[in-house]
Amino acid sequence: MNNVRTTVLLAGLTGLLLAIGSLCGGSEGMTVMFVISMVINFVTYWFGDRIVLGMYGAQEVTAKESPDLIRIVAALAQKAKLPMPKVYIIQTDAPNAFATGRNPHQAAVAVTTGMLKVVDPVELEGVIAHELAHIRNRDTLVSSIVASLAGMITAIAHIAQWAVFWGAGRNGEEGSLLGRAMEGLILIILTPLAATLLQLGVSRSREYLADETGASIAGNPLALARALEKLEYHAASKLMPEATPSTSHMFIVSPFSSGSRGLLANLFSTHPSTKDRIARLQELAERI
């Protein structure tokens, strides 16, 4: 199933870039974008996890440097029957965490210093178990690819927008000028939307599944529920300045302040409602 999702996402990227190339340069533009898309597909598949970790300045830590964190990750990885992932720490007061990697053998778990200050050891186990659940459920490859692709699509679209308007400026014909302006408008409006929909290709149902799987690994659904409540509360006041919309879906809670979201905001949110996630975990605790 994850191989199918990965293939669909990569195909979607190629199609979107070809459309951008067609708007900007016709058949020649499509050819250029096809070559670019092949390079991007290769890079994001093999190096997407390193790109994301590098974006946040994540530093790998050892048992000597962070003994308690490494002990928790190792114990839970053993319970989940997973290889020991690499462990990274991100220096920021914003409490959050994510997992990445092509497969369980090349996986990594990253946590922020802010999260280590906010949660207690039992709640930390719930968070780590959630991230290990993403690894076990094979969500991390798709998540890393989406993060890289969404960012690259947005960057390429911005370049293409300037190319369109530059072309319009060199051509004095009114009809051509209007046509170029419309093409630029399409890129400005539709490209961010397409990147968002690409992120939503990593279904929010995967977060619910990771909550459930993680609660099973740790054996304590309420610990994860308490951690989510704390992370959501602190995320509103301790924003992560390094966070980008293209990677927001990777974190256990959105790195951006959610506030009181309306219907439209919920529709395009990369995360399900934290309130709903907590309610599901409480129901799970009652069942077990």
Q: Catalytic residue positions?
A: 131
DSSP 54-80: HHTT-EE--TTTSHHHHHHHHHHHHHT
Are 85 and 77 in contact, with CB atoms under 8 Å apart?
A: yes
Question: Residue 175: which residues within 8 A CB-CB, separation 6 or more?
Answer: none
Could you give the CA distance from residue 124 to residue 267 in angstroms, rounded to a whole number?
29
Phi, psi of 172 (to 5 degrees): -85, -5
Determine if residue 242 is labeled as part of a ligand binding site. Answer: no
Could you give the CA distance from residue 211 to residue 225 in angstroms, rounded to a whole number?
9
Strands (E), the chain: 59-60, 86-90, 97-100, 108-112
Annotated binding-site residues read: 130, 134, 207
